[in-house]
Structure 1
C-alpha cells in the first residue's frame, strides 16, 4: 500500500497486511505520518513540556493537574 506523509509529502510503501495499513484502509479519518516527522514532533513536544508552559487540554480530570 502506498501512503503519503501529511507533513512532508513523502511517499512510502507499507505492507498490505501491516496493522497500520489496515487502520488507514478501514478508517479514512486516520492519516499517515512518516517516522522522521513523528520523531521530530515527539522531540519538539518533549522540549515544550520541559519548559513548563505546556498544558494538556484533552480532559478536565484531576489527573491532568497531577501531571
Structure 2
C-alpha cells in the first residue's frame, strides 16, 4: 500500500496486512506520518517539556466540575 506523509508529502510503501494499513483503510480520518517526521516531532516535544514552559491542556471530565 502506498501512503503519503501529511507533513512532508513523502510517498512510502507499507505492507498491506500491517496494522497501520488496516487502520488507514477502515478509518479514513486517520492520517499517515513518516518515521522521520514522527521522530522529529517527538524530539521537539520532549525538549519543550524539559524547558518547563510546556503545558498540556486536556479536556476536563464531568467529575472535575463537581
TM-score band, normalised by shorter chain? 0.7 to 0.9
**Structure 2 gap segments, 5+ residues each:** 62-66
- The 5-angstrom pairing of residues 27-42 of structure 1 reads 27-42=27-42
Q: Corresponding residue for 1:13? A: 13
Tell whether 2:58 aligns with 1:54.
no
Distance 2:57 2:21 in 1: 29
TM-score in terms of structure 1 length: 0.86
**Root-mean-square deviation (CA), in Å?**
1.1
- Larger-Rg structure: 2
TM-score in terms of structure 2 length: 0.87
Q: Corresponding residue for 2:64? A: none
Q: How many corresponding residue pairs?
A: 61
**Structure 1 gap segments, 5+ residues each:** 62-67
